[in-house]
Chains A and B, each alone.
Chain A
Amino acid sequence: MPYETDFTNQGFTKVGTRVNRPDGVDKVTGRAKYGADANAAGQLVGRVLRSPHAHALITKIDTSKAEKLPGVKAVLTSKDFPDLTGGNRGLMDILENCMARGRALYDGHAVAAVAAIDADTADKALKLIKVTYKLLPHVTDVDEAMKPSAPIIHDWVRTAGVTPAPTAASNVAQRSEFGHGDVEAGFEQADVIIEKSFKTEQTHQGYIEPHACLATLGPDGSGELWVTTQGHFTFRNVCASLLGLDVAKLKVTSSEIGGGFGGKTHVWTEPVALQLSRKANRPVKLVMSRDEVFRATGPTSSTSVDVKIGAKRNGKITAATAELRYQSGAFPGMWAMFGAMTSFACYDLKNVKSVGFDVLVNRPKVAAYRAPSAPMAAFAVESVVDMLAAELGMDAVDFRIKNAAKKGTKASYGPVYGPIGIGPTLDAVKNHPHMKRKLGKNQGRGVACGFWFNFGGQTCTDLNIGVDGSVNLTVGTVDVGGSRASLALIAAEELGIDYDQVRVTIGDTNSLGHNDTTEGSRGTFSSGMATIFAARNAVEVLRQRAAATWDIPVEQVVWEAGEARAKGKQNNNLPPLSLKEIAAKSPRTGGPIAGHNEVVADGAGVSFASHMCDVEVDPETGATKILRYTVVQDAGKAIHPDYVEGQFQGGAVQGIGWALNEEYIYGDDGRLQNAGFLDYRIPVCSDLPFIDTQILEIPNPNHPYGVRGVGETSIVPPLAAIGNAVSNAVGVRMTHVPMSPPRILKAIEDGQA
Chain B
Amino acid sequence: MTATTVTPKTPASGARVRVRASRLVLYTVLVVITGLMLGPFGWLVITGLKTTPELAASPVHWLPDKIQWHNFADAFTQIDFLGYARNSLIISLIYATLVTLSSAWVGFGFARLSAPGKKVLFGVLIGSMMLPQMITLFPTYLIFAKLGMVDTYWPWVLWGLSAAPYLVFLFRQFFAGMPRELEEAAIVDGCGYTGIFWRIFLPQSWPVLTASFVIAFTWSWGDFIAPMLLLSSDRTTLSVALMTSYVTPSGLPVNNLLAAGSVMYVVPILLIFLVAQRGFVAGMSTSGLK
Query: Do these two chains really belong together in a complex?
Result: no
